[in-house]
Chains A and B, each alone.
Chain A
Amino acid sequence: AQSVTQLGSHVSVSEGALVLLRCNYSSSVPPYLFWYVQYPNQGLQLLLKYTTGATLVKGINGFEAEFKKSETSFHLTKPSAHMSDAAEYFCAVSNAGGTSYGKLTFGQGTILTVHP
């Protein structure tokens, strides 16, 4: 069975500072990994995803993430935070096989606060 752990339920940064949101996964097969963002009273929006190939993945709004198999990690970063980045971020894993049709397993989420 797969699982996702997001380290830190709340992260606070200053505007212009580096954003680092941590995600570790557990999967018995090569995983597909996703980062989603959720703004208040909205659904989830895809930031980026890793399937196969290049381990550094670039997404929207300047975010990127690096897949590290040896560390079972998929941390999300952004060099310079903007006030509009304040939201809740979710890391998710998708596995292969019949028991995984249409199923994403999510971490508990990390609320990002950006201070002026």
Chain B
Amino acid sequence: KAGVTQTPRYLIKTRGQQVTLSCSPISGHRSVSWYQQTPGQGLQFLFEYFSETQRNKGNFPGRFSGRQFSNSRSEMNVSTLELGDSALYLCASSPAGLRETQYFGPGTRLLVL
């Protein structure tokens, strides 16, 4: 089976812009989780989607949003980018988001200038 894929791998934006990141889960996996990884805060949970519904959300401002499509692919959007949004954004998929192993993609590295 193909692994989790994320596009793009690298992105440079300027403050105030918005960005959309994409994640394709492992075939058959219906749960997609998103994480932000920074040197200062480590790995932090953003949100989880299952069957096109957000079931869980971390402690991030409303500028961070996401969605999931009927084929389980997911996108996350960050509006009004701030310098502090520079990070590696990781998505992970699992069959149902019920404590099974999460399989991670390679991440999208976002740099905000």
Contacting pair B104 A102 (CB below 8 A) = no
Q: Pick from B42, B55, B106: contact of A102, CB below 8 A.
A: B55
Q: Pick from B32, B56, B101, B104: contact of A103, CB below 8 A.
A: B56
Within B30-49, which residues are at the interface with A (CB < 8 Å)? 31-33, 35, 42-43, 45, 48-49
Give Cα A46–Cα B4 distance, bound, in whole angstroms: 13
Kindly specify which of A37-45, A69-77, A79-87 makes contact with the partner chain: A37-45
B-to-A contact residues, CB < 8 Å: 4, 31-33, 35, 42-43, 45, 48-50, 55-56, 58, 90, 92, 94, 97-99, 101-107, 109
A-to-B contact residues, CB < 8 Å: 32, 34, 36, 41-46, 49, 51, 90, 94-96, 98-109
Contacts of B35 in A (CB 8 A): 104
Q: Pick from A43, A101, A106: contact of B48, CB below 8 A.
A: A101
Contacting pair A102 B50 (CB below 8 A) = yes
Contacting pair A101 B104 (CB below 8 A) = no
Query: Smallest CB-CB separation from A31: which chain B residue?
Result: B99
Contacts of A104 in B (CB 8 A): 33, 35, 43, 45, 92, 102
Contacting pair B55 A42 (CB below 8 A) = no
**Known interface pairs A43-B107, A44-B104, A101-B48; A106-B43 also in contact (CB < 8 Å):** yes
